[in-house]
C-alpha cells in the first residue's frame, strides 16, 4: 500500500462552493497531499468536480459512506471505481453481505481498483452516542468488532479514530489500512469531533492516513496551516 510517493495527509474539501474549494486546491501540491470529496461538495458538484481534481493530478478519496442493501452499495462502489477514485468508503454497519458484495464487485477492476474502506464508529461519537443508538460497550470495542468484520470481508482497511489505531494495528496487522479523521493540532478547536489526536500522535499510534478538514480549510491561511502540519509529521 505504501508507494514511493504516498502522502499521508488527506485534505477534506468540505466547502459549499467550487470557487472556495479551488482557491485552496490550486495552491496545493498533489505530491504532498490527497483530497477528500465528501457529501457536501459531491452533492453540489458531482463527478465533474472529482474529474477536475484528478485532472490537476490529485488522487481522490470519495467519502460518500455508502450504507444500503448489497446490490445498491456494490453498484455505487463500482460507479466510484469507474470514476477512477483512489479510495472509497462504506459503512461497516451495512454488514457482511454488503461488504463482501462491494469487494467482489471491485475485484473485477484488478490492480487499479480503489481502496475499499469501512467506516467503523464516527469520530464525532462518544460512549453516550453509542448508548443512544443501542450499542453497548465502548467505542473502542465497537471499532474493533467492525474492523474484524471488515477485514474478514476482504476490505482494505477502516476509518476509525487514531485513538483506536494501536489496538487495530495489533489485531488486524500492519497491512490493514487505518484512515483517521478527528485530527486536531494541539491548538485547534475540536468542534463536533470527540475522539481526536494531534497529527504526530496519530502517526505514532499507527494511522496510515490523516484526514484533516477544518484545521486547514478554516485557518486564516490554509496553506500555512497545512505546512505546519506537514512539518510536524515530517520523517514519519
Ligand X SMILES: O=C(O)c1cc(=O)[nH]c(=O)n1[C@@H]1O[C@H](COP(=O)(O)O)[C@@H](O)[C@H]1O
Catalytic residue numbers, as ranges:
63, 65, 68
Query: Is residue 212 near ligand X by the rule CB under 6 A?
Result: yes
Query: Is residue 122 near ligand X by the rule CB under 6 A?
Result: yes
Nearer to ligand X, 101 or 118 (CB): 118
Cα 141 to its chain centre, rounded Å, is 20
Nearer to ligand X, 4 or 20 (CB): 20
Q: Which of 73, 142, 193, 198 binds ligand X (CB under 6 A)?
A: 193
Locate cell 463482501: which residue? Answer: 100
Q: Do the annotations mark residue 72 as ligand-binding?
A: yes
Name the closest residue to ligand X (Cβ): 213
Q: Which of 181, 202, 208, 225 binds ligand X (CB under 6 A)?
A: 181
Q: Which of 119, 162, 177, 205 binds ligand X (CB under 6 A)?
A: 119
Q: How far apart are CA 103 and CA 54, in angstroms?
A: 23
Q: Are 64 and 36 in contact (CB under 8 A)?
A: no
Number of residues interacting with ligand X: please give it, by CB under 6 A.
Answer: 19
Locate cell 466547502: which residue? Answer: 15
Least CB distance from residue 139 to ligand X, whole Å? Answer: 10
Query: Is residue 163 near ligand X by the rule CB under 6 A?
Result: no
Cα-flanking dihedrals φ and ψ of residue 33, to 5°? -155, 160
Buried b (16+ CB within 10 A) or exposed e, 64-75: bbbbeebeebbe
Query: Vertex 96, ends 83 and 116: CA angle to 5°?
Result: 25
Query: Is residue 90 near ligand X by the rule CB under 6 A?
Result: no
Nearer to ligand X, 11 or 108 (CB): 11
Collect all residues with Cβ–Cβ distance below 8 Å to 196 and sequence separation of at least 6: 123, 161, 162, 163, 182, 183, 184, 190
| Closest listed residue to residue 37, CA positions, set 23, 49, 25 | 49
Least CB distance from residue 140 to ligand X, whole Å? Answer: 14
Query: Is residue 38 near ligand X by the rule CB under 6 A?
Result: yes
Least CB distance from residue 101 to ligand X, whole Å? Answer: 20
Query: Is residue 211 near ligand X by the rule CB under 6 A?
Result: yes
Q: What residues pair up with 157 in beta bridges, in sequence order?
A: 117, 177
Which window, 24-32, 76-84, 117-125, 198-206, contacts ligand X (CB under 6 A)?
117-125
Q: Do the annotations mark residue 193 as ligand-binding?
A: yes
Cα-flanking dihedrals φ and ψ of residue 133, to 5°? -105, 15
Q: Do the annotations mark residue 66 as ligand-binding?
A: yes
End-to-end CA distance of the chain: 15
Residues that bind ligand X (CB under 6 A): 12, 14, 38, 63, 65, 89, 119, 122-123, 159, 181-182, 191, 193, 211-215
Amino acid at each position: 500500500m505504501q508507494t514511493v510517493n504516498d502522502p499521508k495527509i488527506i485534505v477534506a474539501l468540505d466547502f459549499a462552493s467550487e470557487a472556495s474549494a479551488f482557491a485552496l486546491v490550486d495552491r496545493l501540491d498533489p505530491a504532498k497531499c490527497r483530497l477528500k470529496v465528501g457529501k457536501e461538495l459531491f452533492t453540489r458538484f458531482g463527478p465533474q468536480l472529482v474529474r477536475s481534481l484528478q485532472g490537476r493530478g490529485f488522487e481522490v478519496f470519495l467519502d460518500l459512506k455508502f450504507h444500503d442493501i448489497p446490490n445498491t452499495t456494490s453498484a455505487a462502489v463500482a460507479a466510484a471505481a469507474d470514476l477512477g477514485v483512489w479510495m472509497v468508503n462504506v459503512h461497516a454497519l451495512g454488514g457482511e453481505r454488503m461488504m463482501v458484495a462491494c469487494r467482489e464487485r471491485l475485484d473485477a477492476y484488478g490492480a487499479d481498483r480503489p481502496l475499499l474502506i469501512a467506516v467503523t464508529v464516527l469520530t464525532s461519537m462518544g460512549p453516550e452516542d453509542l448508548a443512544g443508538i443501542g450499542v453497548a460497550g465502548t467505542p473502542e470495542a465497537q471499532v474493533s468488532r467492525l474492523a474484524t468484520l471488515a477485514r474478514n470481508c476482504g476490505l482494505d482497511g477502516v476509518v476509525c479514530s487514531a485513538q483506536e489505531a494501536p489496538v487495530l494495528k495489533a489485531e488486524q496487522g500492519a497491512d490493514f489500512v487505518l484512515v483517521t479523521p478527528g485530527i486536531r493540532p494541539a491548538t485547534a478547536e475540536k468542534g463536533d469531533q470527540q475522539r481526536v489526536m494531534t497529527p504526530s500522535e496519530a502517526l505514532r499510534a499507527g494511522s496510515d492516513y490523516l484526514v484533516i478538514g477544518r484545521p486547514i480549510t478554516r485557518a486564516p491561511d490554509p496553506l500555512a496551516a497545512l505546512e505546519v502540519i506537514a512539518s510536524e509529521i515530517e520523517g514519519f
